[in-house]
């Protein structure tokens, strides 16, 4: 039987394809690797020379560390007053004679910052014989009183030193309850003198007008040298409150004894002082 031409052309034609096999990489000749190693590896002479330089450097460091070649002979201070500088020099005196190379800088900083008159300190080595120390000193803000005892306290509420009760009458007094434990270098709790000290610190130049400051039932009270009782409310937003008080004091009528700026948008004055519990102690000294 004869198949038509069109029918014959529709039959699929089998095609043969060649599969590409992966090529195998040739291993690098062993001799070539040895050639590269000889080319880039340091020579024995270079190794000996390098080790010799390292040994000399380590020996020089050991000599500088253990001998007096770079011994500390002077301490240069900056940032503090003459009194603070004297205290820092005394605290760092044990470091004199030690080598600057092996000096423990963290130890020098700790010695300075342990002082009750120093907030923070940094150090630098000034070869060949000088240790430089830069300090941020505490700033006194008030005299802390408890019974017959008195201490100088900083704007951070840190007890800086024990002082005579009548010292520096220009600083405000902060009264604590009698027999309250106070130790030099301690930071006072916010509820026991520390909050008042920080409030005075944020009052700026206005604190020169304050005779005593107290925290009565969470309410901050400044007794001004003019005799006016200034109530500031909670010990927050003090800069704004003293700015309002500064303006209000200029317009107060004669005989005013009390000014309330706890609500800054509505200061209230009176010729009578309300019944607030007085601070424990006397306002004198």
Query: How does DSSP classify residue 172?
Result: -
Domain ranges of the chain: 74-137, 140-270
The answer to whether the beta carbons of residues 255 and 150 sit under 8 Å apart is no
Decide if pLDDT at 149 tops 80. yes
Decide if pLDDT at 183 tops 50. yes
Question: From CA 130, how far away is CA 88, in angstroms rounded?
Answer: 15
Pull the structure tokens for residue 102. Answer: 């092996």
- Render pLDDT for 164-182 as a digit per residue (tens, 0 to 9): 999 999 999 999 888 889 9
Whether 74-137 and 140-270 share one fold: the answer is no
Could you give the maximum distance between any two Cα atoms of the chain, in Å? 139
Query: How does DSSP classify residue 23?
Result: P
Question: Would you state the pLDDT for residue 45?
Answer: 67
Backbone φ and ψ for 83, nearest 5 degrees, come out as: -70, -45
Nearest to 171 by CA among 151, 194, 148, 147: 151
3-state secondary structure at position 93: helix
Q: In CATH, which of 3.30.460, 3.30.720, 3.30.70, 3.40.50 is domain 140-270?
A: 3.40.50
Please name the helix (run of DSSP H) or strand (run of DSSP E) that holds residue 201, with its range, or none: helix 195-202
- Render pLDDT for 246-270 as a digit per residue (tens, 0 to 9): 999 999 999 999 999 999 999 999 9
Span 195-211, mean pLDDT?
Answer: 97
The Cβ of residue 69 has, within 10 Å, a number of other Cβ atoms equal to: 15
More confident residue, 198 or 30: 198
Question: Would you state the pLDDT for residue 179?
Answer: 81
Decide if pLDDT at 218 tops 50. yes
Decide if pLDDT at 133 tops 50. yes
Torsion region of 88: left, alpha or beta (phi above 0 gives left; psi -120 to 50 gives alpha): alpha
Question: From CA 77, how far away is CA 100, in angstroms rounded?
Answer: 16
Decide if pLDDT at 115 tops 80. yes
- Render pLDDT for 45-69 as a digit per residue (tens, 0 to 9): 666 666 666 655 545 444 444 556 6
Is domain 74-137 in CATH 3.10.20.310, yes or no? yes
């Amino acid at each position: 039987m004869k198949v038509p031409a069109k029918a014959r052309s529709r039959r699929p034609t089998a095609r043969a394809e060649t599969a590409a096999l992966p090529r195998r990489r040739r291993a690098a000749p062993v001799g070539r690797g040895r050639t590269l190693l000889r080319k880039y590896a340091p020579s024995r002479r270079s190794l000996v020379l390098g080790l010799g330089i390292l040994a000399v450097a380590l020996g020089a460091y050991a000599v500088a560390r253990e001998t007096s070649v770079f011994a500390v002979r002077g301490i240069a201070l900056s940032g503090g007053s003459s009194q603070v500088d004297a205290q820092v020099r005394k605290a760092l005196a044990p470091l004199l004679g030690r080598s600057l190379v092996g000096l423990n800088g963290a130890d020098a900083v700790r010695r300075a910052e342990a002082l009750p008159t120093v907030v923070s300190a940094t150090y630098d080595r000034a070869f060949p014989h000088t240790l430089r120390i830069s300090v941020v000193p505490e700033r006194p803000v008030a005299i802390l009183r408890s019974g017959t005892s008195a201490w100088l306290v900083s704007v951070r509420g840190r007890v800086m030193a024990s002082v005579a009760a009548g010292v520096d009458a220009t600083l405000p007094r902060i009264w604590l309850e009698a027999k309250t434990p106070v130790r030099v270098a301690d930071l006072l709790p916010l509820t026991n003198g520390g909050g008042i000290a920080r409030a005075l610190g944020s009052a700026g130049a206005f604190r020169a007008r304050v005779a005593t400051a107290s925290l009565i039932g969470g309410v901050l009270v400044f007794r001004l040298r003019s005799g006016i009782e200034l109530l500031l409310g909670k010990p927050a937003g003090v800069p704004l409150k003293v700015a309002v008080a500064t303006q209000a004091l200029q317009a107060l009528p004669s005989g005013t004894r009390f000014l309330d700026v706890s609500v800054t948008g509505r200061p209230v004055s009176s010729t009578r002082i309300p019944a607030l519990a007085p601070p424990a102690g006397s306002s004198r000294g």
